[in-house]
Amino acid sequence: MRYTTAGESHGRALVAVLTDVPAGVPVDRVAIDDDLARRQRGYGRGGRMAIEHDSATVLSGIRFGRTLGSPVALLIENRDAPNWHEAMDPWGTGEGVERVTAPRPGHADLPGCQRTGSADARDILERASARETAARVAAGAVAKALLAELGVTVRSWVERIGPSTTGPLAPEAVDGAVVEESDVRCPDPQVADAMRAAIDAARSDGESLGGVFAVTADGLVPGIGGYAEATARLDARLAAAVMSVPAIKGVEIGDGFACACRPGSAVHDEIVLDARGVLRRSTNRAGGIEGGMTNGEPLVLRAAMKPIPTLMRPLATVDLATGEVADAARERSDVCAVPAAAVVAEAEVALVLADAYQDLLGRGCLADMQRALDAYRARIAW
């Protein structure tokens, strides 16, 4: 399955369209809206989150709670839109609407204006805004529904916000219920306190903060992805998908960058037969991927998010209208959106995994995919 989205941050609505969706997948509307709510939560979010109560309306592709095999279109209304009617009017003249001409360092503002020839960074920032990721989360919830039927679950947690970190955690050491209760998605309550304090300090300093989150998937069969073609490699597909989330500057799988400074014997995971006679690994430094394919261990992916570029104590810029030195534009924004980005990355990971499962098991309907999965498991035998 593949998706595209449409919508500006302060336009009427966001839309996600998913194509190549297998028929017969049970989809729970509550699960979609739960994921949308999880994306909205998080200590350090801005005023917009008090306005929005994101909920997906199904426009097509789902009937009686099951996918039809036709494109699934999902609509999320922007409750803030009426406050921006003049600024975003598709048919207005724009007269009297203030332009954004002081591009923010680190934002899409300047390269976007250069690319498009626009003299108003609002033309760019409306779409570059992470508001768009709500549509991705709705699409990702459909991918998660397919994966659940294939025995795969995707979850996330936050390991670092600014200076406060737990260090890397293994999936089995992370209690999912604790993460879901935490407003910073951190499983360690003491580190979570330090994260909140760091966000408070950043807010009062007019600063913003980034961090590191982990996404993991359990229940994967070996061999998902591919080694024969560059475009089939699962690690490459996952990295591209997660890097497409605004503000993500780095992605690693398993021990990632740390592997570069260890000898091979301290990097690779020995192959063992477990008590049930299943081929496993004694460790999971590879993060569940070898040679561009799953190896049957949990997928472990980490991503680094930079601090949001909108600063209430702004950096210097050049005003595009006057050529004069200026303070960068201030827009209402978040101090920290790392917990939200983790939920968005879950969606991206789910969409890639669902598509890679379809590559192996077929694309027509869920029942055929499940039969193919049973046969595949039986053939692997161990």
Tokens standing for residue 345: 């990355």
With binding defined as CB under 6 A, does residue 35 bind ligand EPS?
A: no
Nearer to ligand EPS, 48 or 185 (CB): 48
For residue 58, what are the β-bridge partners? 74
Nearer to ligand EPS, 130 or 242 (CB): 130
With binding defined as CB under 6 A, does residue 161 bind ligand EPS?
A: no
Q: Which amino acid is at 66?
A: R
Minimum CB–partner distance for residue 69 and ligand EPS (Å): 31
With binding defined as CB under 6 A, does residue 248 bind ligand EPS?
A: no
Minimum CB–partner distance for residue 303 and ligand EPS (Å): 16
With binding defined as CB under 6 A, does residue 123 bind ligand EPS?
A: no
Minimum CB–partner distance for residue 166 and ligand EPS (Å): 24
Stretch that binds ligand EPS, among 61-69, 128-136, 193-201, 227-235 (CB under 6 A): 128-136
Q: Which amino acid is at 230?
A: A
The helix or strand, by DSSP H or E, that contains position 56, with its residue range, turns out to be strand 56-60
With binding defined as CB under 6 A, does residue 333 bind ligand EPS?
A: yes
Instruction: Work out which of 2, 249, 332, 377 binds ligand EPS, going by CB under 6 A.
Output: 332
Alpha-carbon span 8 to 85, nearest angstrom: 12
- Comparing CA positions, the residue from 172, 187, 167 lying closest to residue 298 is 172
Q: Residue 264: CB partners within 8 Å, gap ≥ 6?
A: none
Contact 213, 342 (CB under 8 A): yes
Contact 280, 273 (CB under 8 A): yes
Q: Which SS3 state, helix, strand or coil, does residue 341 take?
A: helix
Nearer to ligand EPS, 46 or 291 (CB): 46
Q: What is residue 219's DSSP assignment?
A: S
Per CB under 6 A, which of residues 295..314 are in contact with ligand EPS? 308
Contact set with ligand EPS (CB under 6 A): 9, 46, 48, 80, 129-131, 133-134, 246, 308, 331-334, 337, 340
